[in-house]
Amino acid sequence: MKRLLPYLREYRKECIIAPLLKCMEALVDLFVPLMIADLIDRGINGSDKSVILSVGLYLLLLAAAGLALAMIAQWFSAKAAVGFATKVRIALFKHIGDLSFSSADQIGNATLITRLTGDINQVQSGINMSLRLLLRSPFIVFGALIMAYRVDPYSAGIFLITIPLLALVVYGVMLLTVPRYRKVQGKLDGILRIVRENLAGARVIRAFNLQQKETDSFLEGTDAHTREAIRTGRISALTNPLTYVIVNLAATLLIYVGAIRVDNGILTTGQVVALLNYMAQILVELVKLANLIVTITKALASAGRVGTVLETVSDMTYPADDGPEVEHAGVSFRDVTVQYAGSGAPSLSHISFDARPGETVGIIGGIGSGKSSLVNLIPRFYDPSGGTVLVGGHDVKAYGRDRLRCRVGVVPQKATLFSGTIRSNLLFGAGPREEVSDEDLWKALETAQAASFVSQKPGGLDEAVEQNGRNFSGGQKQRLTIARALVRKPSILILDDSASALDFATDAALRAALAHLDFHPTTFIVSQRISSIMHADRILVLNEGELSGIGTHEELLASDPVYQEIYHTQFREEKDHA
């Protein structure tokens, strides 16, 4: 929680006013039993209507004052809690955006989503309840004890016995339930992970007809959560019966002692009623305090999880300035090795090559050979474990993040579109370009072979795009993501297996259009198809993380066995299908 406290500084005034007003409301509540005692003794027992009317009016005024104080206090506490949660959520979202890929991978997407949503909401609830009750409940308990002592010191001895017993019950239940609440939250995190995976992989699950298996897995998780919640609830449910037994016994004793003292003329009937009201107030506030402590415990646990993410330091650092200018778009790898955290072996080993400005470089290899790992080093999504990656003759680590990535256009393997319009998705790739005309957008669409289907849409560039582009086919999404990267007019263009959903004719038209771009980027094409990269200026062949060969299509076909195997396998299949 200490990590999150700075976000409350702006709301210091609210954090002081809200508890103060709640204490003033509690003070009003403490005077009510005395007013009722006066109403009974002087008004009802004395048959004095003027006393009944005057005391009744005072009680209405006290009720109005208490309501006003409570509403104002609630407004201040809600303002502080919601404002705090908003600032923390914004800071956490920004921090996640600044994390390197490897740091974010170690935490996990499901965990990050839970921290941004459920955990911050839990902290918000804890702060709101704390500002309202953390001072009010103890104030009522000790205030009621003092007021009872003022009414009758002898009867107040019952309070001195009852309050520790109630506190012992509340504390004992809390001691048993708080660790269990943490387990319940952990089980809930597991359910959220299962739900997220099933929603993301719904098509795969249906394709393999594994709905029942996943349902059973979900039921197993919910059953485990339910069992833990029931065990915790059973213990927590003991709070009310135990406290009510103690309070009712205390009330019975209080009535018995009060009756004797009334009979002896020491107390009045109204004073006994006042003592019973104070006993009820103590019971209610102790139960509230017990629930508050559980809420605070959950909030502290959630705050710790949020703080852990905020304290996660990205394993990448950038220079204070933008670094050197990118004078040309040449790319060089010097003995580069990549090994991800937790992996048993390097994904890339001792890779060295040079790509001249304006060249087209094809990258091919088997699954898991390190193709994506290689191109991800160029925009510095990851840092190499060894060796150096150079862009424009300078180490990528010498560039500021904005300067480097504004010169690189990346089309990742998974075609991702955002809800909005086609125009808004294309402008996503504009980067630092201040003005992008519709003509620029249509040029990018034409190069990406997407202009034909976009022009047929009723809205054209303003056609709606649903979440993750689900109203477009796989090939259409890929072409739109390629167009998005081209809008930037990057110096380096990376196509990471981004034409896998395209037919051969569209793929060929795309490659021809890329070859005639007026800004001549250095292009890296990662593909499983030899037909997509065979016309590249040079081709890198990767095999189990190592550079098997480098050269043109003809050179590799004559010298590299890995490339030969891929070529003969693919073209034999195409010949067989023909």
Asked if residue 366 lies in contact with residue 561, where contact means CB atoms within 8 angstroms, the answer is no
The CA radius of gyration of the chain, in Å to the nearest whole number, is: 35
Provide the b/e sequence for 208-233 (b: ≥16 CB within 10 Å): eeeeeebeeeeeebbebbeebbeebe
User: Residue 391 has what pLDDT?
Assistant: 92
User: Residue 68 has what pLDDT?
Assistant: 95
User: Residue 577 has what pLDDT?
Assistant: 47
The dihedral built from the CA positions of residue 277, 244, 179 and 96, taken in this order, carries a sign that is negative
Spatial neighbors of 284 by CB under 8 A, at least 6 apart, are none
Query: Which among 315, 324, 232, 242 is positioned nearest to 283, based on CA atoms?
Result: 242
Q: Where are the domains of the chain?
A: 1-142+293-315, 413-489
The burial class, CB within 10 Å (0-12 / 13-18 / 19+), for 354 is middle
Per-residue pLDDT of the chain (578 residues; tens, 9 = 90+): 678 888 888 899 999 999 999 999 999 999 999 888 888 888 888 788 888 899 889 999 999 999 999 999 999 999 999 999 999 999 999 988 888 777 777 777 777 888 888 889 989 999 999 999 888 988 998 898 899 888 888 888 888 888 888 888 878 877 887 778 778 877 877 887 788 788 878 888 888 888 898 899 899 989 988 998 898 888 878 877 888 888 888 888 888 888 888 888 888 888 889 888 988 888 788 778 877 877 887 788 788 888 888 888 877 888 878 777 776 789 999 999 998 877 778 889 999 999 999 999 999 988 888 898 999 999 988 889 899 999 988 899 998 888 888 889 999 888 889 999 999 999 988 866 567 888 999 999 999 999 999 999 999 999 999 988 888 988 899 999 999 999 988 899 999 888 877 888 888 899 899 988 888 899 999 988 888 898 899 999 999 889 999 999 999 999 899 999 988 888 765 544 44
Class of domain 1-142+293-315: mainly alpha
Helix (H, G, I), strand (E, B) or coil at 473: coil
User: Residue 449 has what pLDDT?
Assistant: 92
Class of domain 413-489: alpha beta
- Whole-angstrom distance, CA of residue 396 vs CA of residue 409: 15
| The model's pTM | 0.76
Sequence length of the chain is: 578
Asked if residue 448 lies in contact with residue 410, where contact means CB atoms within 8 angstroms, the answer is no
Query: Which among 8, 10, 54, 14 is positioned nearest to 35, based on CA atoms?
Result: 54
Q: How far is CA 209 from the centre of its chain?
A: 31
Spatial neighbors of 430 by CB under 8 A, at least 6 apart, are 436, 487, 488
The runs of H, that is alpha helices, within 99-210 are 101-107, 109-114, 120-133, 136-151, 153-200, 202-207
Q: What angle do CA 43, 46, 47 make, to 5 degrees?
A: 70
